[in-house]
């Protein structure tokens, strides 16, 4: 199967724009994996406080990706019937969103430094990060992951799967944000409340 995908990519027929979108999205996912590995290596060990309820949200986010990738459409075909111009515009937007999402995740991981974690936790000397992407939204990594869910759906999934995948992802994200920010409120109190008033939790203000 992998050999077939590589051969189809190299064949480069008239639907080349769709193939470029596919390659860019897959490359961005590899970059996401690299960011996660490097973030884990640089993360501090142990935690003063931890909230494992965020695992439920993480599982729902994973389920959203499974829904998205479990409903492949015909390879290199558009998600909906549209003109070649429409395909080109949607492809360009998909590539742009994939690149921005990857950069946003990388910048957020750099800002977190040793505080990187998969499960909600507070470490010794924990800092309330408010710089970089954290000046735009309080949970930039989840926003970046949401962007990658959308571009993955646009690149490979059926629209009937992308819609429920988005719904499941948003529910899981709401759980994780509530879990993590409960810890931060307990530690930083009024400082966090002031930050929350200025900066939205998930979607940036227009």
Q: Is residue 66 part of a domain?
A: yes
Domain tally, the chain: 1
CATH classification at residue 86: 1.20.120.1630
Q: Is residue 177 part of a domain?
A: yes
pLDDT digits (tens, 9 = 90+) for 147-204: 999 999 999 999 999 999 999 999 999 999 998 898 889 889 999 999 999 999 999 9
Q: What's the domain range around 26? A: 2-198
- CA-wise closest residue to 57 among 118, 115, 136: 118
* Axis-axis angle for helices 190-198, 159-188 (nearest 10): 140
Residue 116 tokens, joined: 């990187």
Q: Is residue 203 part of a domain?
A: no
Instruction: Return the pLDDT at 113.
Output: 83
pLDDT digits (tens, 9 = 90+) for 27-58: 999 999 999 888 777 665 555 556 677 889 99
Q: Is residue 58 part of a domain?
A: yes
pTM: 0.86
Q: Is residue 204 part of a domain?
A: no
Q: Is residue 205 part of a domain?
A: no
């Amino acid at each position: 199967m992998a050999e077939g995908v590589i051969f189809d990519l190299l064949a480069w027929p008239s639907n080349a724009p769709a193939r470029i979108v596919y390659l860019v999205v897959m490359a961005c996912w590899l970059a996401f994996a690299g960011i996660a590995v490097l973030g884990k290596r640089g993360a501090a060990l142990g935690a003063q406080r931890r909230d494992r309820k965020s695992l439920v949200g993480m599982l729902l986010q994973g389920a959203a990706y499974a829904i998205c990738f479990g409903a492949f459409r015909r390879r290199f075909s558009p998600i909906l019937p549209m003109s070649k111009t429409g395909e080109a515009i949607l492809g360009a937007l998909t590539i742009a969103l994939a690149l921005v999402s990857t950069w946003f995740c990388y910048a957020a991981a750099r800002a977190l430094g040793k505080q990187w974690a998969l499960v909600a936790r507070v470490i010794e000397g924990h800092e309330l990060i408010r710089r970089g992407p954290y000046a735009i939204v309080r949970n930039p990594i989840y926003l970046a992951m949401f962007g990658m869910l959308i571009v993955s759906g646009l690149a490979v999934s059926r629209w009937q799967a992308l819609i429920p995948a988005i719904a499941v992802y948003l529910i899981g994200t709401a759980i994780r944000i509530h879990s993590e920010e409960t810890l931060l409120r307990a530690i930083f109190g009024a400082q966090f409340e002031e930050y929350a008033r200025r900066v939205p939790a998930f979607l940036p203000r227009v």
